[in-house]
Amino acid sequence: MSVIMPTYKRLPVAFVRGRGATLWDARGRAYLDGLSGIAVTNLGHCHPRVTQAVVEQAAELAHTSNLFRIPGQEQLGAELTSATGMDAVFFCNSGTEANEAAIKLARRHGHNRGLGQPTIVVLEGAFHGRSLGALAATAGEKMKTPFAPLPSGFLRVPRDDLQAVHDLTSNRDIVAVLVEPVQGEGGVRLLDPDYLQGLRTLCDDQGWLLMFDEVQSGNGRCGALYAFQRLQIAPDVLITAKGLGNGYPIGACMARGAASQALGAGDHGTTFGGSPLACAAGSAVINTLADSALLSSADVLREQLLSSFRAHLVDAASVAEVRGLGLMIGIEVTVPTENLVTAALELGVVINLTAGNTLRLLPPLVMSAAEAEQLGKAVAEAVNRASEETP
């Protein structure tokens, strides 16, 4: 029996070292990382600027608590608000916490406006985290039923169905619409930009908050600092985490306008969130993305990876659809999926499967063209092997 609770089905490998897009196991075998710790190490493993910032800050001052001003937090707050057009930030430690903060912010905003039961519209296919509030916002009964009762106050609609949201306008308790512009766990699905624009207009008309969960799609992953900037549809609340610290835990719930002032003293809090150490990592990430050509490499690498994948795929019918944006890539397959991820691992690449039949590729932005081609080839070989297993 393991001393670790069995909340994950773990792959039979342990990595002990990483640099850029490469991971090594204890025996010294190298693997190409096509997952980035699930969209976390977007700048590659042990990026020198992030490492230096964390090491220097750890040697100076790691933690003081939010009872005091934290210069590094104010600095990262200023960097994020100026880069996103948001007005204010609440820092926490994870994507779940950032969503939890956004849910509380929306409810507080609703109460400030006299709503009795502030209600948030959420989507089918959504994933927002595993705490009770974030889980209630998440789709998928299997994940939720064992933990009932969950908080109420959410209304679920199909994705990309604007009429379904229009049909809710008679409900006077609605305060916000919460969506991932690119659904990650739901199968790497970019929401239709016209739908997102329609949501923006509807939220403006109704006085609702449009809240984007960019925990997975943000921090350079989709070829812009945040995916909304590519789509040119600005949310009122922006939720992020994962790649913001490139491996150091940090989450952020940002807001603009009245919503940015909804949470007052005592309404919400965190011991660790926004520590000097976390914010040093966050600033190193934001400044590295701003100073480099990494954002523009996302589309180039995507193309290199996918053309190599297509070139090595034996049977085009093995793939139902390729989705996503930038380096958030979903390949929906028609082949048996049980052994796909382990087959890729045997071939020396790290990938992931989501939503049952979608290979999820989230390689780091620092990957070279040769590495992108190698990753595409190995993924095709894993799919080819699975195709041979098809009964």
Long-range pairs for 224-230 at CB < 8 Å and ≥24 separation? 224/295, 224/326, 225/83, 225/84, 225/286, 225/289, 225/290, 225/295, 226/84, 227/181, 227/182, 227/325, 227/326, 228/181, 229/84, 230/325, 230/326
Compute the distance between CA of residue 130 and CA of residue 132 in angstroms, rounded to an integer: 6
Tell the smallest beta-carbon distance from residue 122 to ligand PLP (Å). Answer: 12
Compute the distance between CA of residue 129 and CA of residue 93 in angstroms, rounded to an integer: 13
Q: Which of residues 329-358 bind ligand PLP (CB under 6 A)?
A: none
CB atoms within 10 A of CB 148: 8
Q: Confirm or reject binding of residue 96 to ligand PLP (CB under 6 A).
A: yes
Candidates 11-19, 199-207, 209-217, 230-238: pick the segment binding ligand PLP (CB under 6 A).
Answer: 209-217
Candidates 21-29, 56-64, 122-130, 275-283: pick the segment binding ligand PLP (CB under 6 A).
Answer: 122-130
Q: CB under 8 Å to 369, separation ≥6 — which residues?
A: 300, 301, 304
Q: Confirm or reject binding of residue 128 to ligand PLP (CB under 6 A).
A: yes
Candidates 9-17, 92-100, 323-331, 381-389: pick the segment binding ligand PLP (CB under 6 A).
Answer: 92-100
CB 330 within 8 Å of CB 306: no
C-beta closer to ligand PLP: residue 94 or 358: 94
Tell the smallest beta-carbon distance from residue 8 to ligand PLP (Å). Answer: 12
Query: What is the C-alpha radius of gyration for the chain, rounded to an integer number of angstroms?
Result: 21
CB burial string 62-88: b at 16+ within 10 A, e below? eeeebeeebebbeebbebbbeebebeb
The residue from 23, 215, 224, 378 that contacts ligand PLP (CB under 6 A) is 215
C-beta closer to ligand PLP: residue 251 or 376: 251
Q: Confirm or reject binding of residue 129 to ligand PLP (CB under 6 A).
A: yes
Q: Which of residues 170-199 bind ligand PLP (CB under 6 A)?
A: 180, 184-185
Q: Confirm or reject binding of residue 99 to ligand PLP (CB under 6 A).
A: yes
Q: Confirm or reject binding of residue 241 to ligand PLP (CB under 6 A).
A: yes
Tokens 């397959």 map to which residue?
333
The token pair at 283 is 């600033």
C-beta closer to ligand PLP: residue 184 or 376: 184
Tell the smallest beta-carbon distance from residue 75 to ligand PLP (Å). Answer: 23
Compute the distance between CA of residue 74 and CA of residue 297 in angstroms, rounded to an integer: 30
Site string for ligand PLP, 132-171 (x = CB under 6 A): ----------------------------------------
Tell the smallest beta-carbon distance from residue 97 to ligand PLP (Å). Answer: 7
C-beta closer to ligand PLP: residue 129 or 376: 129
Closest CA to 176 of 230, 244, 239, 84: 239
CB 55 within 8 Å of CB 284: no
Q: How many residues bind ligand PLP (CB under 6 A)?
A: 15
Question: What residue is closest to ligand PLP based on CB?
Answer: 95
The token pair at 131 is 């705490």
Q: Confirm or reject binding of residue 221 to ligand PLP (CB under 6 A).
A: no
Using DSSP's 3-state secondary structure scheme, residue 255 falls into strand
Q: Confirm or reject binding of residue 373 to ligand PLP (CB under 6 A).
A: no
C-beta closer to ligand PLP: residue 38 or 46: 38
Compute the distance between CA of residue 353 and CA of residue 242 in angstroms, rounded to an integer: 18
CB 173 within 8 Å of CB 115: yes
C-beta closer to ligand PLP: residue 105 or 241: 241
Q: Which positions lie near ligand PLP, rule CB under 6 A?
A: 38, 94-96, 99, 127-129, 180, 184-185, 213, 215-216, 241
